């Protein structure tokens, strides 16, 4: 009991500090506005102080709620009364801190102290909002009430769902029944059925065809970016995820692909204006050759050394592109404009067309990456990742396979680069900063090293989610960073870790019809 109380107190204090921190950086106000957007109500108390400041109260309640949830000690299995007390203690601790802060800034504000010199997010208006447009004392009462109330509710709700409670038992029996009825095995065997599979594929295909029409050009742009990052991620996944070579200058191949395509198709500075598809092919080839040229001298390096050398390579390419030396060739810092766009039925590609093309290429990329992974080549790569020395002594020509991984990875990047340049109709050196390499590496790591669904998921989380978080404006990166940290703690192997393939022992020659399945 003593332990749980201590825990409640500690977490209450932590949440109190976090809440104060949110107020200091102005996040509380932004979050309240967001809640308002979601719930569809606007805090109009500034117009009429009699109206409750609902959104802020909701946010306060949420904070209290989380305090209560966190304070509940799962393994202790406390009684209902104990839970009540712990929630109360945690809420009280958090509330006292917050109230102290509110009273302080409220009264100082009333005396006309301007915080904005040091805390730009804590102007008089914001403070008025934080004290619900009333007196600090009245606001303090509300904070105490809501934080403690919701903290207790939070604790009680965890208790409600914890093992042994009636709700939990009911849920479990429900789960058992439904899962038994669904029967995972039947589902799996149904998926193996050819007709079911084809039907499913048709549904997905139809969805993929119509979605770009439905969700509009803004989402086509965002999803296009996600698709380009999936392609990049697939390529880097071959290099880092499969063969285990930490290449940090991956953006170089992306840049080379984009610039090759742009220079071959734009009217300026070379006026080649080649056939688009041919240019795309050449862009892929040039990236691949760049991969070979880079790989040959450096792939004998291992681990950290390789990372540093490739890091340098990525920057060298960007700086060369924008240098005076190559201005005649690359147009320097101005970049290349009017990059060629493909035609479809005599008309310029629309955003929908691009989306379709990108989807197709992503599918093709996934197909290639998947088949490579489960082959002699893929196994050779993974063995290199696991233990390069032994892999070589087991007969794998490690150098050749590392080069191959780099070439294929570079080809993916080249393709992504060409599409990127074409879709944006522009390409400039600042599109290819180190951050691109880091982002792609994050896509691979967050998704799960070597995992293909992981790459897709990672690209959505890293490129799609920031767009969804656009509402948070200034706090977007903050929220995003926090999310990444939490995710890596909760799922250190990535969102969708790789699973090793299962092999089925081939039947003896005389009884072909009954394959023996080998179970673990």
Partner 1 sequence: MTRTAIHIQNVTKRFGGLTAVDEVNLDISEHSISSIIGPNGAGKTTLFNCVTGFYAPEEGEIQFFDKPVQGLPTHKICDMGIARTYQNIRLFKEMTAVENILVGQHTRMHSMWVESVLHNPRYLKEESTAIAKAFELLEFVGLLDLADTPAFNLPYGAQRRLELARALASDPLVLMLDEPTAGMNPQETAEMMAFIKELRDSKNITIILIEHDMRVVMGVSEKIAVLDYGRKIAEGDPTEIQSNQRVIEAYLGPSMDGIINRKKRKKPDYA
Binding site for partner 1 (CB under 8 A): 367-368, 371-372, 374-380, 382-383, 385-387, 389-398, 404, 408, 500-503, 505-506, 518-520
- Nearer to partner 1 by C-beta: 158 or 444? 444
Shortest Cβ 392–partner 1 spacing (Å)? 5
Shortest Cβ 382–partner 1 spacing (Å)? 6
- Nearer to partner 1 by C-beta: 44 or 397? 397
Q: Which long-range contacts (CB under 8 A, 24 or more apart) does 310-316 make?
A: 310/246, 310/247, 310/248, 310/249, 310/250, 311/248, 311/249, 311/434, 311/437, 312/249, 313/249, 313/252, 314/248, 314/249, 314/250, 314/251, 314/252, 314/432, 314/434, 314/437, 315/249, 315/434, 316/252
- Nearer to partner 1 by C-beta: 21 or 367? 367
- Nearer to partner 1 by C-beta: 345 or 505? 505
Q: Is 99 exposed, middle or buried (0-12, 13-18, 19+ CB in 10 A)?
A: buried
- Nearer to partner 1 by C-beta: 288 or 377? 377
Shortest Cβ 206–partner 1 spacing (Å)? 26
Locate tokens 């035609």: which residue? 343
Shortest Cβ 226–partner 1 spacing (Å)? 24
- Nearer to partner 1 by C-beta: 249 or 378? 378
- Nearer to partner 1 by C-beta: 368 or 479? 368
Distance CA 493, CA 131 (A): 44
Cis check: omega of the bond before 431, within 30 degrees of 0: no
Shortest Cβ 450–partner 1 spacing (Å)? 9
Shortest Cβ 367–partner 1 spacing (Å)? 8
- Nearer to partner 1 by C-beta: 161 or 367? 367
- Nearer to partner 1 by C-beta: 331 or 451? 451
The beta strands (E) that lie in 77-225 are given as none
Shortest Cβ 190–partner 1 spacing (Å)? 23
Shortest Cβ 402–partner 1 spacing (Å)? 13
Q: Are 288 and 412 in contact (CB under 8 A)?
A: no
What phi, psi does 306 have (nearest 5°)? -60, -45
Q: Cβ of 132: how many Cβ atoms within 10 Å? A: 23
Number of helices (H), then strands (E), belonging to the chain: the values are 21, 4
Distance CA 198, CA 186 (A): 17
Q: Cβ of 229: how many Cβ atoms within 10 Å? A: 26
Distance CA 312, CA 322 (A): 16
Shortest Cβ 501–partner 1 spacing (Å)? 7
Distance CA 238, CA 462 (A): 19
Distance CA 144, CA 146 (A): 6
């Amino acid at each position: 009991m003593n332990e749980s109380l201590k825990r409640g107190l500690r977490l209450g204090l932590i949440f109190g500090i976090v809440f104060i921190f949110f107020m200091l950086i102005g996040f509380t106000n932004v979050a309240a506005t967001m809640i308002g957007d979601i719930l569809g109500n606007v805090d109009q108390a500034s117009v009429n102080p009699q109206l409750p400041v609902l959104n802020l109260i909701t946010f306060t309640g949420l904070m209290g709620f989380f305090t209560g949830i966190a304070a509940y000690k799962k393994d202790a299995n406390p009684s209902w009364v104990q839970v009540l007390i712990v929630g109360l203690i945690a809420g009280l601790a958090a509330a006292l801190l917050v109230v102290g802060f509110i009273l302080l800034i409220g009264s100082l504000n009333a005396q006309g102290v301007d915080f904005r010199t040091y805390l730009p997010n804590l102007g008089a208006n914001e403070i008025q909002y934080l004290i619900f447009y009333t007196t600090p004392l009245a606001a303090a009462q509300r904070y105490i009430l809501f934080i403690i109330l919701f903290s207790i509710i939070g604790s009680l709700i965890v208790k409600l769902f914890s093992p042994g409670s009636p709700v939990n038992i009911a849920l479990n029996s429900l789960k058992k029944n439904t899962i038994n009825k669904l029967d995972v095995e039947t589902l799996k065997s149904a998926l193996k059925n050819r007709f079911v599979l084809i039907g499913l594929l048709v549904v997905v295909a139809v969805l993929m065809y119509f979605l770009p029409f439905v969700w509009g050009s803004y989402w086509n742009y965002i999803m296009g970016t996600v698709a380009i990052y999936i392609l990049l991620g697939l390529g880097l996944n071959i290099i880092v995820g499969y063969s285990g070579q930490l290449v940090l200058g991956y953006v170089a191949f992306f840049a080379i692909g984009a610039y090759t395509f742009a220079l071959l198709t734009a009217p300026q500075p070379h006026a080649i204006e080649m056939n688009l598809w041919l240019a795309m092919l050449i862009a892929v080839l040039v990236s691949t050759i760049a991969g070979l040229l880079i790989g040959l001298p450096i792939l004998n390096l291992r681990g950290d050394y390789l990372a540093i050398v490739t890091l340098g390579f990525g920057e060298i390419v960007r700086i060369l592109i924008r240098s005076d030396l190559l201005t005649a060739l690359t147009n320097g810092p101005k970049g290349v404009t009017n990059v060629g766009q493909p035609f479809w039925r005599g008309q310029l590609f629309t955003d929908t067309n691009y989306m379709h093309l990108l989807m197709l290429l992503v599918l093709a990329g996934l197909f290639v990456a998947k088949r490579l992974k489960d082959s002699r080549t893929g196994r050779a790569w993974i063995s290199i990742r696991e233990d390069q020395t032994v892999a070589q002594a087991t007969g794998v020509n490690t150098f050749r396979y590392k080069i191959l991984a780099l070439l294929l990875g570079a080809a993916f990047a080249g393709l992504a680069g060409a599409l990127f340049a074409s879709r944006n109709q522009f390409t400039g050196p600042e599109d290819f900063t180190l951050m691109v390499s880091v982002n792609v590496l994050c896509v691979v790591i967050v998704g799960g090293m070597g995992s293909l669904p992981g790459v897709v998921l990672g690209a959505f989380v890293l490129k799609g989610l920031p767009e969804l978080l656009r509402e948070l404006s200034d706090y977007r990166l903050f929220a995003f960073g926090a999310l990444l940290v939490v995710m890596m703690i909760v799922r250190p192997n990535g969102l969708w870790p790789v699973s090793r393939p299962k092999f089925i022992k081939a039947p003896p020659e005389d009884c072909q019809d009954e394959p023996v399945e080998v179970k673990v």
